[in-house]
Amino acid sequence: MVRADYSGDVGAKLRSRIHSTPLSSIPMATVETATDRNSRRRLLKRVTAKHDPSCPAPRQGEHGTSTGVNIAPGSDDDGWIVPDPVTLCDGTRVQLYKDGEALHAAYDAIKNAQKRVCLEVYIFANDHTGNAFADLLCAKAQEGVHVYVIYDSIGSCGIEQLWRDKAPMFSKMRRAGVRLAEFHPLRMWEGRYSWKPLQRDHRKLLLVDDNIAGMGGINVGREYAGSWVVPTDSLQDCDLWRDNAVGMVGPSTRFLFHSFARTWKYIHSGGRTRRAEFFHPLENTSDLGVLASVPSMDSPLVPRLRAMLNSAKSSIEMTMAYFAPPDELVDVLCKRAKRGVKVRLMLPGRGDVPILITAARSFYERLLPCDVEIYERQHVILHAKTMCIDREFTILGSTNLDYRSIEYNLELSCIIRSKQFGEQMHDLFENDVRYAKRISAKEWRRRPRLDRFGQWAVNRARYLL
């Protein structure tokens, strides 16, 4: 049982153990020398130059035309330079990650764990990457490290678990001493409390020892990791996913321990799902806030997001995998754009749920006349969920702007108040613009009538998506 580590006030127990951690302990994907960094900067200058249409597109290793995804160590011709860590006011250091480098950093952090590993994930895939993580967690448990894993039943095992056995890696981890918790089991006979198949745990969170954390939109699976965790012979049969995460070292990670502890306690003691909810606002002494929401018809998530968007004075840059928000949030974006705020949206040009792309496009007719810039990311499946307001306030995590995130899922996002981190998010947005198509209001008005009808119908039904 996890009770020994998480009973009572988690923050009070951890506060006394938080200590200053050297910068080298931040779980970074790579450690760059000055030569490496200069080389990457020259590369960035080369690939970000304007291309003549007749010239070949920038290449990504031996995999052909660049997709803007870092699929493997050394595959840096997507133009993205790993930024320096940012130190917040309380000494917490945060590191922005892109694509598979985040899972690589997570794997290294688990490998170096001394006391505790807590992992909460929607998809724990039964593939090479998932099994590599499972083997590592088993090894750490056998070393005496306390390992706790929360995985979503449907996300990790699918509905086929009703007629097939679950992946053997779960029983393997349990035998090795990993404490497993399956969120809302789909098999009714395995649930200890009420059966809630529509409510899912969509959070992604890693906690290591006393003051190391990582979170974002990245699941444990091959499509997220590329070749960063397990070298693969070919990625041609695997869609590449574009995503973000953030690593943290320092005292503010205790708020994420609170979130994990509440979810673990809810799974093992039942009750209302709201017991897994946790909100921590920004404070004068902390530049990190936490939005750990739960399924609710009156979720405080929407009012909090509306308030933050309403506070924008100069810019809103949003990268969103699933964009089917309540009308009130669309109205806020339109109003801020009309008042001179530069509103830019990065939305998927292709995705794993095609109907949600149609749902997102159903809002273009309202947004474009208000001078909202809309881009559709090409080549890859966009899975990131980020917002950056005035290049100072960043929201990053698992929360999409759709009704499933608001009314059916447990979601987790952090709020980071930092102009330096906000500039890094802006640079990342600009990097995605290079691989995106901007939607023109003039062209959009010329779209076929069948597309108009489909978007209208999906918009009316978006509450069910």
pLDDT in tens, 11-21: 333 333 333 34
Whole-number Å distance between alpha carbons of 22 and 171: 36
Q: 65 versus 43: which is more confidently predicted?
A: 65
Highest mean pLDDT pick, 196-200, 352-356, 417-421: 417-421
**pLDDT band (50, 70, 90) for residue 193:** confident
Whole-number Å distance between alpha carbons of 204 and 195: 22
Predicted local confidence at residue 27, as pLDDT? 46
Whole-number Å distance between alpha carbons of 343 and 320: 13
Helix (H, G, I), strand (E, B) or coil at 445: helix
Taking residue 77's Cβ as centre, other Cβ atoms within 10 Å add up to 18
With the CA atoms of 172, 176, 182 and 185 taken in that order, what torsion angle do they form, in degrees rounded to the nearest 10? 40
Q: 375 versus 283: which is more confidently predicted?
A: 375
- Residue 216 and residue 246 in contact, taking contact as beta carbons nearer than 8 Å: yes
The rounded mean pLDDT for the chain is 84
- Fill in the DSSP letter of residue 358: H
- List the one residue out of 222, 208, 254, 204 whose CA is nearest residue 385: 204
Domains and CATH numbers, the chain: 10-47+57-257 (3.30.870.10), 294-464 (3.30.870.10)
Give first-to-last CA distance, the chain, whole Å.
Answer: 36
Mean pLDDT for 147-163 is 95
Tens digits of residue pLDDT in 94-128: 999 998 899 999 999 999 999 999 999 999 999 99
Mean pLDDT for 443-460 is 84
Question: Strands of 116-121's sheet, edge to edge?
Answer: 86-87, 93-98, 244-249, 212-216, 205-208, 116-121, 146-152, 179-183
- Name the amino acid, one letter, at 392: E
- Residue 291 and residue 92 in contact, taking contact as beta carbons nearer than 8 Å: no
Q: Which residue's structure tokens are 């529509």?
A: 198
Helix (H, G, I), strand (E, B) or coil at 323: strand
Mean pLDDT for 300-325 is 94
Quick one: CA dihedral 83, 88, 91, 92, positive or negative?
negative
Whole-number Å distance between alpha carbons of 334 and 374: 12
Q: 71 versus 386: which is more confidently predicted?
A: 386
- The 10 Å CB-count burial string (b at 16+, else e) for 389-426 is bbbbbbbbbbbbbbbbbbbbbbbbbbbbbbebbbebbb
Helix 354-361 crosses helix 449-460 at what angle (to 10 degrees)?
A: 100
